[in-house]
Amino acid sequence: MKKTMVMIAAALCLSCVNQKNEKREAEQTPFDYNVERFADLGVLRYQVTGWDNLSFDQKKLIYCLNEAALYGRDILFDQNNRYNLAIRRTLEAIYTQYKGDKTTDDYKALVVYLKRVWFSDGIHHHYGQEKFLPGFSESFFKEAVQSLDPTLIPTRKGQSVDDFLTEIMPVMFDPTLYAKKVNQDSNTDVILNSANNYYGEGITQKEVEGFYNAMKNSNDTQPVPFGLNSRLVKKNGHLTEEVYKVGGLYSPAIERIVYWLEEASKYAENEQQKQVINLLTDYYKTGALKKYDDYSIAWVKDTESVVDFVNGFTESYGDALGIKASWEALVNFKDLEATALTKVISENAQWFEDHSPVAPQFKKKEVKGISAKTIIAAILGGDCYPTTPIGINLPNSNWIRKEYGSKSVTITNITDAYDKAAAGSGFNDEFVCCDYEKELIKKYGTQTDNLHTDLHECLGHASGQLLPGVDPDALKVYGSTMEEARADLFALYYIADAKMLELGLLNDPEAYKAEYYKYMNNGILTQLSRIEPGKDIEESHMRNRALITRWVLDHGRKENVIELRKTNDKTYIVINDYPKMRMLIGDLLAEVQRIKSEGDFNAAQKLVEQYAVKVDPDLHQEILERYNRLNIAPYKGFVNPVYEAVKDANGNIIDIKISYTEAYDEQMLRYSRDYSPLPTYND
Ligand code: ZN
């Protein structure tokens, strides 16, 4: 508690923030963000910025939570499909022990397949859900398995290697068997046709719905999340839950998780955090969902701790009916530098509101900036590894959210890694028109990007007011696009303001141009890469960016403020007059705020339909081809850093060291060796 207070006091000193920023720029040593690329996947590495500023106790706390985060990996593999552990262990045995020719196409394809299995935590694509097929022959696989020491093969008790192969090979090679991990097709039985392992073989959707509907009580205002932490199976003709808990399903892994959580509680930062950890271990020991809700409430209340974590059966995207949760973990700590910056912005919120180009009657008389929380990920585990969200908002329970709120955070070192990795991809050379902008983006691209996000979150969404009597939902389907546009325009308008330099948020009056160029480039050109050919723009953040950039292009053409230029069949954005572009942004901000404040549905509809929905098919095609040629992986995941506990002669931990040199296969094999307590078959 005291520590947090000291840090907040430090955050108030603007020159400190400024100096810290300059120091950060100067100290940056080259860090290799790109690790590996195969199939449609890219493996990146992230940096745990600010680690050295943590106290020794905080480091020990994170170390223990990390261990707890890594021990759940096998659970997720088994949840995704009952054969995933058998297949992973067989492939790993070949990868490490095979003595045959490793230069053949078959062997190389096996390596890619194993890397994909690691990446997707099983044999189904992590995003598309479909089973991906091996690129090697069945005969090669058979021969490779038979060439190994039979004790290395994860056969069932008493099963021969041949019988094992007969059981496992259709699972890998037959495209019709376990074809989709999660099947959402409403014309089929979504349980029978999903390959995940949340339900015993042969259980139908009707049976599942019947089982859980019977548990619900419509008078209960605080319902527990029924079925969240169990597999539903049929025994002697009766449906019954196998609960994930100590002594239940996945017990060997959960026991290790509990052990490390109990170790972690010794270093808890305060009583509230200690209570969070204790409630979680109680829940793991009993499997009682009421305990899970108690834990979630305590977790939401813990806003003081610097270190925080998620560990458990959390999200239910992996179950077509949204009942069962996959195991995931994330250990993190507050990004104190970024939090200091958002604090500076929030504290000046009234100044920004008073000086905006919006008409006075639409401004807030008293504005309170929102303090956005940003965190640094220390380790990713379970369903957050290797692919991870860049933000989290938990808990999921509706009544807890309503009564106690939720924690919403963005993970800055992960977004930073995405940015830096993309910088090495040739993206800027392909899509940025001129050397002047390329230089600015290199120098200030990430800094202004983060600043834009902060201004958007802390000021943009907090600014402006509705006129009395205006319905907040008056803009209906256009509401969220207009709201995002308002927040982005507020950020874009002020990122070019001298106030940024005065507050020490930027130190070069030209830095904002990096953000202006990137924003225009993304809104008009590069974001089209995420749209399928022939489709409209649907998502409201994408619509907002299209709206702003195309409106500015349209209105800036006359005076040659900005233009689209075609060179060698490639379209580029060329910005000729940045100060005038800022004035256009101010004009649009005033208009968007007016529409919002007055609830002018017709004007909102006109703006969105004219600028934010349709895609020029020729330009779209051109962008897709240019992306293709760059060979940027559509899906990305991360390797974790390695944490090492340094001990003295008596076995006491004296330091926690962090390193970033582990390769993708090294890490996966290490996790499979050191954090793999589950048996191959859990049924
Ligand atoms: Zn927003």
Distance 551 CA to ligand 1 centre (A): 19
pLDDT, position 628:
83
Cis peptide preceding 386, ω within 30 of 0 = yes
- The three-state secondary structure class of 405 is coil
DSSP state of 571: E
pLDDT, position 372:
62
Least confident residue range of 148-157, 313-322, 418-427, 439-448 = 418-427
In angstroms and rounded to an integer, the radius of gyration of the C-alpha atoms of the chain is 27
Least confident residue range of 9-23, 344-358, 393-407, 635-649 = 9-23
SS3 content of the chain, % helix, strand, coil (to 5): 50, 15, 35
pLDDT, position 390:
77
Q: Report the candidate in 279, 285, 316 with the shortest Cα–Cα distance to residue 299.
A: 279
Cα–Cα distance measured from residue 203 to residue 485, given in angstroms and rounded to the nearest whole number: 47
Number of H helices and number of E strands within the chain?
26, 14
| pLDDT at position 20 over 60 | no
Distance 454 CA to ligand 1 centre (A): 10
- Assign 480 a pLDDT band (cuts: 50, 70, 90): confident
**Are 328 and 310 a contacting pair, CB within 8 Å?**
yes
Mean pLDDT of the chain: 91
Distance 499 CA to ligand 1 centre (A): 22
pLDDT, position 370:
65
Look at strands 41-45 and 34-38 and give their pairing.
antiparallel
Q: What are phi and psi of 597, to 5 degrees?
A: -65, -35
Percent of the chain residues topping a pLDDT of 90? 76
The predicted model gives 418-444 an average pLDDT of 89
Distance 480 CA to ligand 1 centre (A): 9
| pLDDT at position 9 over 50 | no
Cα–Cα distance measured from residue 568 to residue 69, given in angstroms and rounded to the nearest whole number: 51
Query: Which tokens is 313 given?
Result: 């059966």
Query: Which tokens is 51 given?
Result: 């680690």
| pLDDT at position 253 over 60 | yes
| pLDDT at position 146 over 90 | yes
| pLDDT at position 22 over 50 | no
Distance 623 CA to ligand 1 centre (A): 26
Side chain identity at residue 117, one-letter code: V
The predicted model gives 140-156 an average pLDDT of 98
Cα–Cα distance measured from residue 354 to residue 360, given in angstroms and rounded to the nearest whole number: 8
Distance 484 CA to ligand 1 centre (A): 5
Distance 235 CA to ligand 1 centre (A): 49
Query: What tens digit of pLDDT does each residue of 78-91 get?
Result: 999 999 999 999 99
Distance 541 CA to ligand 1 centre (A): 8
Query: Which tokens is 125 given?
Result: 């694509």
Residue 590 CA, chain-centre distance (Å), reads 33
Distance 135 CA to ligand 1 centre (A): 43
Distances (CA, A) of 640 to 35, 70, 185, 420: 11, 10, 35, 17
- Assign 21 a pLDDT band (cuts: 50, 70, 90): very low
Cα–Cα distance measured from residue 502 to residue 495, given in angstroms and rounded to the nearest whole number: 12
- Assign 532 a pLDDT band (cuts: 50, 70, 90): confident
pLDDT, position 18:
38
Supply angle C-alpha 598, 600, 604, rounded to 5: 130
pLDDT, position 6:
25
pLDDT, position 292:
98
Distance 468 CA to ligand 1 centre (A): 24
Cis peptide preceding 360, ω within 30 of 0 = no
DSSP state of 317: T
CB count in 10 Å sphere of residue 507: 14
CB count in 10 Å sphere of residue 358: 26
Q: Where are the beta strands (DSSP E) in 358-507?
A: 373-382, 391-394, 407-411
Distance 149 CA to ligand 1 centre (A): 57
Distance 354 CA to ligand 1 centre (A): 21
Query: What tens digit of pLDDT does each residue of 26-57 get?
Result: 344 578 899 999 998 999 999 999 999 999 99
Distance 549 CA to ligand 1 centre (A): 16
Say which residues have a Cβ less than 8 Å from residue 395's Cβ, sequence separation at least 6.
296, 299, 300, 401, 406
Cα–Cα distance measured from residue 544 to residue 522, given in angstroms and rounded to the nearest whole number: 11
Query: Which tokens is 105 given?
Result: 């196409």
| pLDDT at position 336 over 60 | yes
Cα–Cα distance measured from residue 329 to residue 388, given in angstroms and rounded to the nearest whole number: 10
Query: Which tokens is 661 given?
Result: 């040199």
Distance 542 CA to ligand 1 centre (A): 11
Residue that the structure tokens 């994930």 belong to: 244
Distance 456 CA to ligand 1 centre (A): 6
Distance 547 CA to ligand 1 centre (A): 15
Distance 520 CA to ligand 1 centre (A): 17
| pLDDT at position 2 over 50 | no
Distance 279 CA to ligand 1 centre (A): 34
Distance 638 CA to ligand 1 centre (A): 26
Helices (H), 476-561: 479-495, 499-502, 512-524, 540-556
pLDDT, position 374:
81
Distance 55 CA to ligand 1 centre (A): 34
Distance 444 CA to ligand 1 centre (A): 22
**Are 626 and 431 a contacting pair, CB within 8 Å?**
yes
| pLDDT at position 270 over 90 | yes
Distance 461 CA to ligand 1 centre (A): 7
Distance 176 CA to ligand 1 centre (A): 42
Distance 544 CA to ligand 1 centre (A): 10
Q: How many CA atoms lie within 13 A of 597 on its CB side?
A: 17
Least confident residue range of 165-169, 245-249, 365-369 = 365-369
Distance 602 CA to ligand 1 centre (A): 22
| pLDDT at position 76 over 90 | yes
Angle between helices 412-423 and 435-455 (to 10 degrees): 170
| pLDDT at position 446 over 90 | no
Cα–Cα distance measured from residue 513 to residue 518, given in angstroms and rounded to the nearest whole number: 8
Say which residues have a Cβ less than 8 Å from residue 398's Cβ, sequence separation at least 6.
none
Look at strands 635-639 and 562-567 and give their pairing.
unpaired
**Are 191 and 205 a contacting pair, CB within 8 Å?**
yes
Look at strands 642-647 and 653-659 and give their pairing.
antiparallel
Distance 116 CA to ligand 1 centre (A): 34
Look at strands 41-45 and 635-639 and give their pairing.
parallel
Q: Report the candidate in 498, 504, 486 with the shortest Cα–Cα distance to residue 447.
A: 504
pLDDT, position 457:
81
pLDDT, position 366:
87
| pLDDT at position 10 over 70 | no
Distances (CA, A) of 616 to 62, 346, 534, 561: 49, 39, 9, 22
| pLDDT at position 184 over 50 | yes
* Segment (H or E) for 323: none
Distance 455 CA to ligand 1 centre (A): 10
Least confident residue range of 288-292, 374-378, 470-474, 554-558 = 470-474
Distance 485 CA to ligand 1 centre (A): 8
pLDDT, position 29:
52
Distance 4 CA to ligand 1 centre (A): 28
Residue 423 CA, chain-centre distance (Å), reads 19
pLDDT, position 565:
96
Side chain identity at residue 211, one-letter code: F
Distance 586 CA to ligand 1 centre (A): 18
Q: Where are the beta strands (DSSP E) in 145-303?
A: 230-235, 238-243
pLDDT, position 40:
86
- Assign 411 a pLDDT band (cuts: 50, 70, 90): confident
DSSP state of 528: G
Distance 343 CA to ligand 1 centre (A): 18
| pLDDT at position 7 over 60 | no
Distance 336 CA to ligand 1 centre (A): 22
Query: Which tokens is 527 given?
Result: 């974001």
Distance 476 CA to ligand 1 centre (A): 17
Distance 450 CA to ligand 1 centre (A): 13
Distance 369 CA to ligand 1 centre (A): 14
The predicted model gives 408-432 an average pLDDT of 84
Cα–Cα distance measured from residue 332 to residue 248, given in angstroms and rounded to the nearest whole number: 29
Distance 236 CA to ligand 1 centre (A): 53
| pLDDT at position 61 over 70 | yes
Distance 606 CA to ligand 1 centre (A): 21
Query: What tens digit of pLDDT does each residue of 564-598 get?
Result: 999 999 999 999 999 999 999 999 999 999 999 99
Residue 143 CA, chain-centre distance (Å), reads 40
pLDDT, position 4:
26
**Are 232 and 244 a contacting pair, CB within 8 Å?**
no
| pLDDT at position 25 over 50 | no
